[in-house]
Chain A
C-alpha cells in the first residue's frame, strides 16, 4: 500500500463529488485543447494564405538604399540575371522551385473609368500552381492557360473587387498606364483573362497580375523586383534561409514571417485572447479542485489525526492529499484529451463554415489542428494546477493538532 494507491482509493470515497470535479477538469481541458486546436488551425491557414498569396517562403532582393533618390524607380535596384540565381537556389534540397516577380503600380482604365492598381508581373504557371487554392479564380481563366490559348494577346487577371469597380468581365479589354524605369509613361492594352478573389479586401480592389515578360516590356526593363523561393515544407524556412544567406551574402534574404505584418498581428491578438480565456479556465479548475479537496480534508480530520497518531509523517499526509488532487487533475485531463480527439474527428468531418474573419474576404471551415505538444503540455499544466490548488488544504491537514483532529466530529 503506497501513498499513490492510498490517494487513488480516497479519491473514490465520495464518488459523486469526485466525478463532478473530474468532469469540471475534463471540460476545462477540452475547452483549452479545442480553443488551441482552432487557434492553431487558424494560424496555419493564415500562414499558408500569407505565404501563397503574397510573400512566398523566402524573398531574395538586392539591398535597397534606405531612401530612393528623387524620381528614381525602385526597379533600378532590382535583381539582374535572375536565371543564374534561380538555378543555384533550385538546387537546394528543401526548395521546390523559385519564381521571379516584378512589382508595379499605375492606372488601369476601361476607357470610361480609371482606378489605381497594384500589380505583379509573374511566372504564371508557377504562381497559379502555388496560390490557386488560396487566391481562387472566380471567373474566366488563369494567365497561363489564356497565354497558351491566345498567345497573340496580352492578358491580365484582376481582383474581383477591381473588376467590379471597372465593370469589366473576362474577355473585356482594359488599358494600363505606368511609369517605366526611365521615368517615362507607358501604356498597354490587356484582355481580361480571369478574376481572382484575394483574401485581403484592399488587395481585392486593387490587385492585377500579368505575365512577367509583358510586365518587363511595359516597364522597359529586364530586371525583376525579387525572387520568391517556394519550399517543400514551411518548417524548413529557417534552415533554408541560413543556407541562402550563406551562399549569397550580398543579397537581402527575408523570411516570410518578417514581412507578414497581418499574420503577426493576428497571432498576437489570438494569443492574448487565448491566454485570457485559458487563465479563466485554469482558475475555474483550480477553484474546483481547491473546493473539493478542502471539503475532503474537513470530512477526514479525525482520519488525518489517526494517520499522524500512528506514525505517518506530516509531509506524507500532505502528499497524500496533493496526490489526490493530482489524480483528479490527471483523470480529468485524460478524459478531456480523449473528448477533444472525438470532437476533432466530428468537427473536421462536418467542416462547419465560418464567416470571413475581420480583414478577410472569405470564410473558412471550423477545423481543429491538433498539436502533440499541446496534448502533453496542457494536461500536464492542468494536473499540476490541480495539485497546486490542493496545496492549501493539504498543508492545513498536515499541520493539524493531532489530539484536536482525533476529537473532531
Chain B
C-alpha cells in the first residue's frame, strides 16, 4: 500500500503563562492509505495535539507533515483550509454538531463551499451517507432529538461526505455507552473497508482497542516504538 501520511520530527510546545509545556516532541509516524489505526495513550499524552496538526487545525513548532508525498504548507492559512476541506474528515469526542441544523444539513455542511460538488450530488451524498450510518429515518431531526450514538454517527457521516482520504477521530467513543461505542467503531470500520478511507483514531478506550489494524501508542508526547 502507498504511504498516505508521513509525519517527521513533529514538535509542539504550548506556553502556559510563563511555563512551557511540550505537547509532542519529535514525533515520527507513517500511515498507509486505507489504514485503520489507533493513536492510543493516556490523557494528556499529546494525541489530540498530533491529530490537530495532522488535521491542519494547529500549526507545529517544528517538523513536517507530508500528505501523499506533498509537504503540508502550515504557513499558508487559506491553502491549509482548502487542504483540510478536500482531504481530511474530522470526528470529535463531543460530536460538535451544529444545533440549529438537522442531521442532513450537518452532513451536507462541508460540501456547501466545495465548488466541485453540484447541489444534486451534495444531496445524494448526504442522504446516502446518512442511510449508510443507519439514520435514514432521522435525517430531518435536529441533534437534540438524537441520542449520543446517533449524533456521533451523524458526525462520522459528516466527516466522510467530502470523500476524504483520511478521517481523524478524537476519542469518538469516549462519551458513548458500550453498545453505541461498538456501533460507532463498527461503522467506521465498515466505511474504512467500503471506501478505502484511512482512519486515525485517538482513543484510550480499552473496549475498542482490539478493532484496529495498527496501534500507535503515545506517552509523554512521543510515539513508543
Residues in chain B near residue A401, CB distance under 8 A: 58
A362 at the binding interface (Cβ < 8 Å)? no
A335 at the binding interface (Cβ < 8 Å)? no
**Quick one: given A6-B101, A403-B52, are A312 and B96 in contact (CB under 8 Å)?**
no
Residues in chain B near residue A308, CB distance under 8 A: 57, 81
A312 near B112 (CB under 8 angstroms)? yes
A309 near B100 (CB under 8 angstroms)? no
Candidates B52, B100, B105, B110; contact of A310 at CB < 8 Å: B110
A310 near B58 (CB under 8 angstroms)? no
**Quick one: given A303-B98, A306-B96, A306-B98, are A1 and B112 in contact (CB under 8 Å)?**
yes
A1 near B101 (CB under 8 angstroms)? yes
B109 near A312 (CB under 8 angstroms)? yes
Within 8 A of B (CB), among A1-24: 1-2, 6, 9-10, 13
B100 near A13 (CB under 8 angstroms)? yes
**Quick one: given A306-B96, A403-B52, A406-B92, are A311 and B101 in contact (CB under 8 Å)?**
no
Chain A residue nearest to B93 in the complex (CB):
A406
Q: Mark A13-48, 1 if CB is under 8 A from B, else 0.
A: 100000000000000000000000000000000000
B100 near A306 (CB under 8 angstroms)? no
Q: Mark A303-329, 1 if CB is under 8 A from B, else 0.
A: 101111111111010000000000000
A121 at the binding interface (Cβ < 8 Å)? no
> Least Cβ distance of A293 to chain B in Å?
16
B162 at the binding interface (Cβ < 8 Å)? yes
Candidates B52, B81, B100, B109; contact of A313 at CB < 8 Å: B81
A309 near B84 (CB under 8 angstroms)? yes
**Quick one: given A311-B113, A312-B112, are A1 and B90 in contact (CB under 8 Å)?**
no
Residues in chain A near residue B112, CB distance under 8 A: 1-2, 312
A310 near B90 (CB under 8 angstroms)? yes
Residues in chain B near residue A316, CB distance under 8 A: 113
Candidates A6, A311, A406; contact of B114 at CB < 8 Å: A311
Candidates A1, A302, A305, A306; contact of B108 at CB < 8 Å: A1
> Least Cβ distance of A150 to chain B in Å?
84
B162 near A311 (CB under 8 angstroms)? yes
- Alpha-carbon distance A9/B109, docked complex (angstroms): 15
- Alpha-carbon distance A289/B123, docked complex (angstroms): 35
> Least Cβ distance of B154 to chain A in Å?
12
A307 near B84 (CB under 8 angstroms)? no
B85 at the binding interface (Cβ < 8 Å)? yes
Q: Mark A326-360, 1 if CB is under 8 A from B, else 0.
A: 00000000000000000000000000000000000
Chain A residue nearest to B107 in the complex (CB):
A310
Candidates B85, B97, B100, B162; contact of A6 at CB < 8 Å: B100
A313 near B113 (CB under 8 angstroms)? yes
A309 near B55 (CB under 8 angstroms)? yes
B98 near A307 (CB under 8 angstroms)? yes
Within 8 A of A (CB), among B21-60: 52, 55, 57-58
A402 at the binding interface (Cβ < 8 Å)? yes
B84 near A1 (CB under 8 angstroms)? no
Residues in chain B near residue A2, CB distance under 8 A: 112
Residues in chain B near residue A311, CB distance under 8 A: 81, 84-86, 109-110, 113-114, 162
**Quick one: given A310-B110, A311-B162, A312-B109, are A403 and B98 in contact (CB under 8 Å)?**
no
A310 near B57 (CB under 8 angstroms)? no
Residues in chain B near residue A10, CB distance under 8 A: 100
B57 near A406 (CB under 8 angstroms)? yes
Give chain A's interface residues, CB within 8 Å of chain B. 1-2, 6, 9-10, 13, 302-303, 305-314, 316, 401-403, 406
Give chain B's interface residues, CB within 8 Å of chain A. 52, 55, 57-58, 81, 84-86, 90, 92, 96-101, 105, 108-110, 112-114, 158-159, 162
